[in-house]
Chains A and B, each alone.
Chain A
Amino acid sequence: MISVASIFDHAVTLALAILSLSFLVTIYRIVKGPTLPDRILGLDMLVAIAIGFIAVIGIKTGYTLYVDVAIALGLVGFLATVAFARFVLSRGKTEDDILSEAREAASAARRQAKAAAKARPGSAAGGMDPGPVAGKTSGRQDNE
């Protein structure tokens, strides 16, 4: 006959292990997540899992002050998700929009550089002109 206490200990350990696994899976989604809303959703899920962790640790240690920590963490997670949603709305662009804008800017700059080189075939101006333009386009691509 297994004692109730040992069943309980095993349940706590099992819960902690499963929660750790789901934490790792969620972090993979946050790192991989193709878009910003995916990452925000992952952070929301991370907060939910952390609340679960706090509940399990509160049961395991019997230190019931952890309940207040869980409630405060839930409040912070809610406010963070709302603020991020407002940020997505006020940014007003998807990742695809930003990429295509950067590509358009780069090709426009390339066209401009080519036109400038054709208009002034002088060696000094032709050598100097594409330099800053190329630097500008690469700077934009870094911003993506």
Chain B
Amino acid sequence: MNELVTLVSAAFLVIGSFFALVASIGLLRLPDVYTRMHAASKAGTMGSCLMLIALAIHATDVGTMSRALAGVVFFLLTAPVSSHLLAKAAYAVGYRLHASAVMDDMKPKDEA
């Protein structure tokens, strides 16, 4: 049982760090700030949450486990809020979508 817990937590660690790597590669390769936001706020949050879950699984006492899970819930709540705010601010100020973007639902109707 104890060995199984250790193996599961090791697997979560590696998978979580892999998600973080995928997110940063997306940050590097995607063309504009709105598409990069997909990588950073979804895969990045997933990565750090998986690693905190690994810590929660590995922890022996209930206090550490519940604090790690509270951290996971906190990140899951705040990551969409912050990246939505950033995207909305960037769009309102006038940062353009990349030329390869196929549609822009927020474009004003009279300009379309």
Contact = CB atoms under 8 A, between A and B. Distances in A.
A70 B23 CA distance: 19
Say what secondary structure dominates the interface of chain A.
helix
Contacts of B7: 4, 7-8
Interface in B38-92: 40-41, 44-45, 47-48, 51-52, 54-55, 58-59, 61, 64, 67-68, 70-71, 74-75, 78-79, 81-83, 85-86, 88-90, 92
Nearest to A91: B93
B90 A48 contact: no
Contacts of B90: 35, 37, 88
B49 to A, nearest CB: 9
B75 A74 contact: yes
A84 B86 contact: yes
How many chain B residues sit at the interface, stated as a range, is: 35 or more
B85 A85 contact: yes
B24 A81 contact: no
B86 A55 contact: no
Nearest to A70: B71
B33 A37 contact: yes
A86 B27 CA distance: 22
Given A18-B18, A19-B17, A55 B51 contact: yes
A98 B37 CA distance: 24
B28 interface: yes
